[in-house]
């Protein structure tokens, strides 16, 4: 009659048998491989107690308390460097447990014990991995919020600097203008032509400086939501005509050609801040002039859209790369060489403070409009050009009843003269 197979050693006894060896191996290995806090062996004792409890009850949730305590102990450095050190500890414990089992147990005892505790280890890995990932995500979110707040502080500081600098510069500039004017009067009395030429240069510099200061003040007002609009009846076609005549001298000096034509909505009366809208469109046209080489062409057209009138400014210039098509509308969004700054508003590739398009966007957004650019890319040989789209709300009502009556009168008076197919106006050198 065959012998009955003797029952194997219970897993609980196997665990008690390997416990001293396990604690020694794990403690020594992890202490060598990482910086370990005081009392680490006591933590290993606690871990092993809970491991036994999990095996005995068949419920690995007994491990939660120590696993979460360890996971919560992640240092700021661990989080910043993306180190998941508790997951590493559990994985290392699995390897060391297998090693201890092979050294101290029979083959069958090793199989029985590992079959009982590997599921507990696997459960533990899932717990700490999930917690460490959540902690890592929370840390990244906190860091992003901190960086965002820092960027907001920097932006506020930059806006404050612009505002203070612009107003502080305006006072001495006024004094310089006054003295230059008096010197000009004296030079005329003395009929000193050489002094007159020098003063002309001074006045040109003063004018350029005043433009920059005014732009800085405008940017400061836009940043702080202080831009006030004075809505009046206006025709966008009339504004374009004024600007086209304004740039004629520059166009002739650089052999540039500007083309504009009547378009649907160009003679429609709408409510806008005429001065500000003119400023915005001027800045866009000046930008086109600046980045279009001599003998190039700038085309100004438009169309009616539901609730809006769109003005389109197309140039045959050097174009704008995809990555810079949003940057150019930011403050100081100058994408060229810094060495070219203040070299002129209309000189080819001339620099500037990089405020013109930012101001244009601020003015248009204050009206409820928008601006964007399209360009195949940047190329100083092929000259792919750029297309700027200016969207202006076709506002036909005013909060001021008197202004509304004036608007109605103008619309009735000029409506018979509206034409949509008038000949194209060209300006060339």
Tell me what pLDDT residue 375 has: 95
161 versus 265: the higher-pLDDT residue is: 265
Tell me the pLDDT of the chain averaged across its residues. Answer: 80
What integer is the mean pLDDT of 332-345? 53
Mean pLDDT of 122-135: 83
- For residues 118 and 195, the model is more confident at 118
pLDDT score of 308 more than 90: yes
Look at residue 417 and tell me whether its pLDDT is greater than 70.
Answer: no
Higher-confidence residue: 362 or 132? Answer: 362
- Comparing 345 with 417, the larger pLDDT belongs to 345
- Tell me the C-alpha distance between 166 and 331, whole Å: 15
**How far apart, in whole angstroms, are the C-alpha atoms of residue 423 and residue 218?**
36
- The band of 87, judged by pLDDT with boundaries at 50, 70 and 90, is confident
**Which is more confidently placed, 132 or 92?**
92
Least confident of 114-123, 228-237, 279-288, 324-333: 324-333
Structural contact between residues 320 and 386, judged by C-beta atoms closer than 8 angstroms: yes
- Residue 54 backbone class (left: φ over 0; alpha: ψ -120 to 50; beta: rest): alpha
Confidence of residue 266 (pLDDT cuts 50, 70, 90): very high
Residue 88 has pLDDT above 60, yes or no: yes
Of 163 and 176, more confident: 176
pLDDT band, residue 82 (cuts 50/70/90): very low
Q: Is the pLDDT of residue 37 over 70?
A: no
Degrees (nearest 5) of the Cα angle 418, 424, 427? 130
Higher pLDDT, 108 or 73: 108
137-146 tens-digit pLDDT: 887 888 888 8
Cα–Cα dist 348/291, whole Å: 6
Over 60: is that where the pLDDT of 321 sits?
yes
On the question of pLDDT at 160 being above 70, the answer is no
For residue 370, give the nearest of 355, 346, 392, 350 by alpha carbon.
392
364 near 266, Cβ under 8 Å?
no
- 390 Cβ partners below 8 Å, 6+ apart? 280, 281, 284, 310, 311, 312, 313, 360, 364, 369, 371
Q: What percent of the chain has pLDDT over 70?
A: 76
pLDDT value of position 67:
85
The answer, yes or no, to whether residue 127 has pLDDT greater than 70, is yes
pLDDT of 8 reads: 57
Q: Report the distance separating Cα 17 and Cα 221, nearest Å.
A: 78
Reported as a single tens digit per residue, the pLDDT across 203-258 is: 777 777 888 788 877 887 887 787 889 999 999 999 999 999 999 999 999 999 99
- pLDDT value of residue 163: 64
Going along the chain from its start, the domains and CATH numbers come out as 7-226 (no CATH), 232-427 (3.30.565.10)
Is residue 96 over pLDDT 50?
A: yes
For residue 131, what are the CA distances in angstroms to 30, 59, 71, 144, 291?
21, 19, 7, 20, 54
Higher pLDDT among residues 186 and 309, named by residue: 309
Mean of the pLDDT values across residues 319-326?
A: 90
**What one-character-per-residue DSSP string does 354-376 give?**
S-HHHHHHHHHHHHT-EEEEE-S
Mean pLDDT over residues 303-318, rounded? 96
Please give the pLDDT value at position 407: 59
Judged against a pLDDT cut of 80, whether residue 415 lies above it is answered with no
Q: Mean of the pLDDT values across residues 394-407?
A: 69
pLDDT digits (tens, 9 = 90+) for 344-369: 566 777 666 778 899 999 999 999 99
- Lowest-pLDDT choice from 314-318, 346-350, 368-372: 346-350
């Amino acid at each position: 009659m065959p012998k009955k197979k003797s029952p194997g050693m219970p897993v609980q006894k196997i665990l008690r048998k390997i416990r001293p060896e396990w604690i020694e191996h794990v403690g020594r290995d992890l202490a060598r491989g990482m910086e370990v806090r005081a009392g680490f062996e006591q933590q290993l004792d606690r871990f092993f107690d809970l491991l036994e409890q999990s095996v005995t009850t068949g419920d690995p949730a007994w491990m939660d308390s120590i696993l979460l305590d360890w996971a919560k102990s992640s240092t700021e450095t661990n989080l910043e460097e993306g180190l998941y050190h508790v997951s590493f500890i559990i994985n290392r414990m699995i390897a060391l447990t297998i090693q201890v089992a092979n050294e101290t147990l029979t083959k069958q005892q090793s199989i029985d014990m590992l079959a009982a505790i590997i599921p507990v280890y696997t459960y533990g890995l899932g717990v700490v991995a999930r917690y460490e990932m959540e902690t890592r995500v929370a840390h990244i979110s906190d860091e992003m919020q901190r960086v965002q707040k820092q960027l907001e502080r920097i932006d506020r500081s930059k806006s404050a600097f612009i505002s203070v600098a612009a107003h502080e510069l305006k006072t001495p500039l006024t004094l310089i203008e006054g003295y230059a004017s008096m010197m000009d009067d004296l030079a005329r009395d003395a009929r000193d032509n050489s002094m007159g030429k020098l003063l002309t240069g001074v006045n040109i510099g003063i004018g350029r400086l005043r433009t920059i200061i005014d732009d800085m003040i405008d940017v400061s007002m836009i940043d702080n939501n202080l831009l006030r609009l004075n809505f009046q009846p206006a025709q966008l076609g009339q504004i374009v005509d004024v600007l086209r005549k304004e740039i004629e001298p520059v166009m002739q000096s650089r052999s540039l050609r500007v083309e504009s034509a009547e378009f649907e909505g160009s003679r429609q009366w709408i409510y806008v801040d005429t001065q500000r809208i003119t400023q915005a469109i001027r800045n866009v046209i000046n930008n086109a002039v600046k980045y279009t080489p001599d003998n190039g062409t700038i085309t100004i057209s438009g169309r009616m859209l539901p609730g809006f009138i769109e003005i389109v400014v197309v140039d045959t210039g050097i174009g704008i790369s995809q990555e810079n098509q949003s940057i150019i509308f930011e403050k100081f969004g100058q994408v060229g060489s810094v060495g070219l700054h203040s070299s002129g508003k209309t000189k080819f590739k001339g620099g500037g403070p990089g405020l013109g398009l930012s101001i244009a966007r601020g003015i248009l957004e204050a009206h409820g409009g928008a601006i964007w650019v399209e360009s195949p890319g940047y190329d100083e040989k092929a000259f792919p050009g750029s297309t700027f789209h200016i969207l202006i709300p076709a506002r036909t009502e005013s909060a001021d009843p008197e202004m509304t009556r004036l608007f109605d009168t103008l619309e009735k008076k000029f409506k018979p003269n509206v034409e949509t197919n008038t000949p194209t106006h060209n300006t060339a050198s």
